[in-house]
Copies of this chain bind each other. A is one copy, B any other.
Amino acid sequence: MRIPTLAIVGVGLMGGSIALAARRRGIATRILGVDQQTNALKQARQQGILDDVSTHLQDVATAADVILFCTPVDSIAAGVLEAAAHCRPGTLLSDVGSTKAAILRDVQGRLPKGIEFIGSHPLSGSEKHGLAHANAQLLEGRLVLVTPGQDTSDDALSRIRDLWLALGAQVRVMEAEEHDRAVALTSHLPHLLSSALAGILPPELRDLTATGFRDSTRLAAGHPDLWSAIFRANAANLLAALDRFEEQIQQFRQALLAEDAAALDRLLRQGKKIREELA
């Protein structure tokens, strides 16, 4: 596949990595970038990652065949609507946000004829952020969840699928609501737990942490603004995942109070079995 002009909105870890992969794999003739940070734009231009850059979304919207929004989840829908007003018919818009239903709801039915938006979520994050950490392999072999809306055409779905495949990723198509419920448990809950655990470590115990604590809290180093937006966009599902988690904690608590070795063994074996099936 070859896209004449690919635009990346938000040139950070994910946007930069996609641009790098697109360049390396020859997926786009021109790659344009939009960001509010002129430093990132300048750097991406100098490194040859982007062919042209702008701080104005509409500058690239008019020129692009595909636009990927790699901005925080609470700014994607507004960006999509703004860009769509300036796009040529046939332009395909997508994103990489970690929540999907709210964006789809805000965008659905509000796009000009011939312009489509379809949600995407590459499962390949990092607690790091910014263009400095971008790498062309970030998507390789990773799964991208694609969430069409009720009006999504077969053509748009197949174009976005081909783009992610060409970038080295795998694709699974899901409904946006199902996506949000799933990642509440697989991604947003681990982030919340990691942050809460890191948050309660008193200063005098910091020297006593080993690799276990560090691995368990790696996610806590993620960007607070990005994660605050994700948590708010998916609050109901995240609270439901937290409820499920706290039922399990409650079982541990009862087993500890009762000094119930068999119950503790059963709970620990359950976690070990599932964890080892992931490895």
Interface string of A257-279 (1 = CB under 8 A from B): 10101001101111110111111
Give the bracket for the number of chain A residues in contact with chain B: 35 or more
Q: Does residue A238 face the partner (Cβ distance < 8 Å to B)?
A: yes
A151 to B81, CA, bound (A): 74
A216 to B215, CA, bound (A): 6
Q: Does residue A1 face the partner (Cβ distance < 8 Å to B)?
A: no
Known contacts A219-B216, A268-B228; decide if A182 and B208 are in contact (CB<8 Å).
yes
Q: Does residue A25 face the partner (Cβ distance < 8 Å to B)?
A: no
A256 to B241, CA, bound (A): 12
CB of A122 to closest CB in B, whole Å: 9
Known contacts A195-B271, A228-B261, A272-B195; decide if A187 and B213 are in contact (CB<8 Å).
yes
Known contacts A143-B208, A218-B275; decide if A268 and B190 are in contact (CB<8 Å).
no
Q: Verify A210–B249 contact, CB threshold 8 A.
A: no
Q: Verify B265–A214 contact, CB threshold 8 A.
A: no
Known contacts A228-B264, A257-B235; decide if A183 and B208 are in contact (CB<8 Å).
yes
A271 to B201, CA, bound (A): 9
Q: Does residue A107 face the partner (Cβ distance < 8 Å to B)?
A: no
* Chain B CB within 10 Å, residue with most, of A192, A219, A222, A275: A275
Which one, B123, B197, B222, B232, contacts A189 given CB within 8 A?
B197
Q: Verify A249–B196 contact, CB threshold 8 A.
A: yes
Residues of B near A225 (CB, < 8 A) are 265
| Closest B residue by C-beta to A262 | B228
Residues of B near A227 (CB, < 8 A) are 264, 268
A205 to B183, CA, bound (A): 9
- CB within 8 Å of B: which A189-210 residues: 189-202, 205-210
A223 to B8, CA, bound (A): 46
A155 to B242, CA, bound (A): 51
Q: Verify B143–A217 contact, CB threshold 8 A.
A: no
Q: Verify A200–B185 contact, CB threshold 8 A.
A: yes
Known contacts A216-B219, A222-B272, A265-B228; decide if A186 and B210 are in contact (CB<8 Å).
yes
| A interface list, Cβ under 8 A from B | 123-126, 142-143, 145, 172, 182-183, 185-187, 189-202, 205-222, 224-225, 227-228, 231-232, 235, 238-239, 242, 244-249, 252-253, 256-257, 259, 261, 264-265, 267-272, 274-279
Q: Closest 8 interchain pairs by CB?
A: A195-B271, A224-B268, A220-B271, A198-B271, A190-B216, A220-B275, A199-B271, A123-B210
8 A-B contact pairs sorted by A residue (CB < 8 Å): A125-B212, A191-B212, A194-B275, A216-B218, A221-B275, A227-B268, A231-B256, A239-B253
